[in-house]
Amino acid sequence: MEPIHVLTPHQRDELTAVLGAVPGNPYRDHREFVAGVAEVHAPRFLVEVCERVRQDRLNGLSEAHVLRDCPVDPHIPDLDLDDPVADKYRKKTTFVGEAFLALIARLTRTPLMAYGSRNNGDFFTDVIAINKYSGMQTGFSDSELPFHNDRTAHWARADHIALLGMRCPQDEVIYTTFVSGRALLRCLSDEDQEILRQPYFTTSFDVFSRATNSTQRSSGAHPILEGDHSIRYLETTTTVLPDAPGEAKDALLALKNALVVAEKQRHRLRDGDLLLFANQDGLHSRDRIEILNADRAATRWLLKTYAFRDQARADSFTGRWKDGVPGLIDD
């Protein structure tokens, strides 16, 4: 996937200095921190890039974008993979990456989202391998991930995801693959699409979600296709309900076949890359193509945010905020 903008060293350094001066700690007081980011005067080039992203999404031109050589913290600590979140709290004392992600969310007009039951309600989370989940199907593992939406089984799912490369070992070949809902629909018959729009399916929560919230076991009945081109699916885990008609199994197989042939976009994140993509209007996967050193590959660290598609979508969850914090889902 080609970047839509590569920051010059001057653009990156200037923005790094401005974002590094934002007061507060996002893991202690999120609202204070984002209020500081709201005071940042964004450079013209970044305003224009974010407006392009926004217009591409609105006009259906693209649901995945890359920016390269973005601001990250001057020091990226090594994290203890037994508990990288707690170790991050101890070691990460600058928050340039977090401020940059918050600024991108503001400029694309996509309010940030978080979960009260996950990582202490942090709005900035980590895609990093946690030792106890090694080999398991969760984003917090060292394994490949099949095509999915983040939080497929959850009743509140982000519309957009941002991934910022903090540490991406370049000798390890790991790709993020994205397929849009529109591309999948082009590979499905009208009959299969109609079946996939019925609540004949269910999805189990991943192992990390079950470990952090004992009430999260299964989604209950849901359709796979929603709206114009949204999709709710986790490969290998979304299944047909026992009482669903036989056509539901055929439609699910058709979707699996469509995933093989549909047009895809692939990107190999490197340090300072920002990958933005739709979570509900597409599916993504993690593909480990060539791993030369498994221990080194496990240190790969992406800083991630979830976001709503717009303020109206965020407002639809009013009344479900934890402790009154806008965007923090009380689950």
Range of the domain at 41: 5-314
| Whether residue 161 has pLDDT greater than 80 | yes
* pLDDT value for 215: 76
Q: Report how far residue 324's alpha carbon sits from residue 274's, in angstroms, rounded to the nearest whole number.
A: 30
Does residue 331 sit within a domain? Answer: no
Confidence of residue 80 (pLDDT cuts 50, 70, 90): very high
Q: Where are the beta strands (DSSP E) in 156-247?
A: 160-167, 173-180, 201-203, 225-226, 230-231, 238-240
Rounded Cα distance between 247 and 90, Å, is 53
Structural domain includes residue 327: no
Q: Which amino acid is at 148?
A: H
| Residue 325 within any structural domain of the chain | no
Give 225-249 pLDDT, tens digit per residue. Answer: 999 999 999 998 999 999 999 999 9
**Domain-located, residue 158:** yes
CATH number, domain with residue 30: 3.60.130.10
Q: Is the pTM of this model over 0.85?
A: yes
Q: How far apart are CA 285 and CA 144, in angstroms?
A: 8
Is 90 exceeded by the pLDDT of residue 259? yes
Model confidence at 216, in pLDDT bands (50, 70, 90)? Answer: confident
Q: Give 30-74 pLDDT, tens digit per residue.
A: 999 999 999 999 999 999 999 999 999 999 999 999 999 999 999
Contact partners, residue 315, CB within 8 Å, separation at least 6: none
Query: In 10 A of CB 128, how many CB atoms?
Result: 23
CB contact at 8 A, 327 and 310? no
Closest CA to 160 of 45, 274, 16: 274
Q: What angle do CA 212, 84, 27 make, to 5 degrees?
A: 80
Checking if the pLDDT of 306 tops 80, the result is yes
8 Å CB contact between 317 and 156: yes
Backbone φ, ψ for residue 125 (5° rounding): -120, 170
φ and ψ at 238, to 5 degrees?
A: -75, 125
Would residue 154 count as lying in a domain?
A: yes
Is residue 328 one of the residues assigned to a domain?
no
First to last CA, the chain: 35
The whole-number average pLDDT for the span 186-205 is 97
Total domains present in the chain: 1
Cβ neighbour number for residue 55 with a 10 Å cutoff: 11
Residues 6 or more apart whose CB falls under 8 angstroms from that of 24 comprise 32, 33, 35, 36, 95
DSSP 76: -
Domain membership of residue 175 (yes or no) is yes
Within a domain: 169: yes
